[in-house]
């Protein structure tokens, strides 16, 4: 017991590496203690060892498969490991054990948003389910800033801007330490005159959650929007030095090289990104656009076929690519016809840590 208390004291002081030593000893003595397992997972997460965090929680689940909180924490860590399918499975198990677990409903809404963004889930039907999950969380706890953040994101996809802004401000009021509220609110500010506000909100998110890969990516993008490209590159390169398998980091470097006219180098970055995250619709679509700019229609066709195999021919990313292909061939009627097949606001993607 003393080892656990010692570890918790060090964790509270944010001395995570030091906390691991007594917490590991406490876990050996009491492998069934979920509080020790959760503290251990947290310290592994904060020291950038997400695989060890997952191992610690999975061992705890073996000892007590009926504790919803363990399943919820595992879902969070699987999200950080960029395995959204496993995250959704653990969230479903958490809710089966505790249907009134409001944060788990928030998790479902956020993971579904990520899967919709990637093109894995259906735009219309699953967006309705996502909104229902966020509203269920609020019906259980109307003081939950995380739930308002999820709902704001739904409003963004539906282009209900007034409701979106109101929900983000409510989220920040209720949960001022919730990084994702600042991050997603910042990403919704697309106006040229809102660039500085977007940067300041993203800085706040980065201060609150410095280990979030998606926050660092958004920070790089926000810096780029105010013409601080060297700083943006430094942020994303530091992130990739820490996590070389961060596909969207490679994608962003590809976008930077593309904007600088270095299409060949841009394509190399996009290749790395697609190898690391196969089946990511927006990423494949962006890569196809680089090949299209080079006039390499054979490579575009290969990526399009891969997109269809993963996502289906009517996925918004495939439709957008087809529109650009018809446009490149000056087939205006088919370009317009294909664009009209998009669901409302289908180009309104944004980043999410889930």
Q: Which of residues 81 and 268 earns the better pLDDT score? A: 268
Average pLDDT score over the chain: 91
- Say how far apart CA 133 and CA 149 lie, in whole Å: 12
Rounded mean pLDDT of 179-188? 95
Q: Note the pLDDT tens digit of each residue in 1-37.
A: 789 999 999 998 989 999 999 999 999 999 889 999 9
Rg (CA), the chain: 21
Q: Note the pLDDT tens digit of each residue in 107-144.
A: 999 999 888 877 777 777 788 999 999 999 999 999 99
What number of residues does the chain have?
Answer: 354
Number of CB atoms found within 10 A of residue 32's CB: 12
Q: Note the pLDDT tens digit of each residue in 313-340.
A: 888 889 989 999 999 999 999 999 998 8
What's the first-to-final CA gap in the chain, in angstroms? Answer: 34
Rounded mean pLDDT of 265-273? 94
User: Highest-confidence range of 41-50, 117-126, 175-184, by mean pLDDT?
Assistant: 175-184
């Amino acid at each position: 017991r003393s080892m656990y208390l010692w570890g918790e004291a060090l964790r509270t002081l944010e001395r995570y590496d030091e906390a691991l030593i007594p917490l590991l000893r406490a876990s050996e003595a009491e492998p069934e203690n979920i509080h020790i397992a959760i503290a251990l997972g947290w310290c592994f997460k904060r020291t950038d060892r997400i695989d060890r965090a997952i191992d610690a929680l999975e061992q705890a689940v073996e000892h007590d498969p009926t504790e919803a909180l363990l399943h919820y924490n595992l879902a969070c860590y699987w999200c950080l490991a960029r395995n959204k399918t496993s995250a959704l499975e653990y969230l479903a198990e958490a809710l089966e054990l505790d249907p009134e677990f409001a944060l788990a409903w928030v998790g479902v809404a956020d993971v579904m948003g990520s899967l919709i963004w990637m093109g894995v889930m259906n735009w219309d039907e699953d967006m309705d389910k996502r909104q229902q999950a966020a509203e269920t969380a609020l019906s259980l706890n109307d003081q939950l800033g995380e739930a308002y953040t999820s709902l704001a994101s739904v409003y963004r996809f539906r282009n209900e801007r007034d409701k979106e802004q109101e929900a983000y401000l409510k989220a920040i009021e209720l949960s001022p330490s919730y990084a994702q509220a600042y991050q997603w609110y910042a990403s919704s500010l697309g106006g040229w005159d809102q660039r500085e506000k977007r940067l300041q909100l993203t800085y706040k998110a980065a201060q609150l959650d410095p280990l979030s890969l998606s926050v660092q990516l958004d920070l790089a993008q926000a810096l780029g929007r105010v013409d601080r490209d060297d700083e943006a590159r430094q942020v994303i390169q530091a992130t990739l030095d820490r996590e070389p398998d961060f596909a969207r980091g490679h994608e962003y470097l590809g976008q930077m090289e593309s904007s600088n006219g270095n299409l060949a180098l841009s394509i190399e970055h996009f290749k790395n990104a697609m190898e690391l995250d196969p089946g990511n619709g927006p990423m494949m679509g962006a890569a196809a656009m680089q090949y299209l700019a080079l006039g390499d229609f054979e490579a575009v066709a290969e990526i399009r076929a891969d997109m269809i195999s993963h996502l289906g021919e009517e996925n918004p990313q495939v439709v957008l690519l087809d529109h650009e292909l018809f446009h490149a061939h000056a087939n205006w009627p088919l370009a317009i016809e294909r664009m009209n097949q998009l669901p409302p606001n289908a180009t309104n993607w944004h980043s999410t840590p889930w």
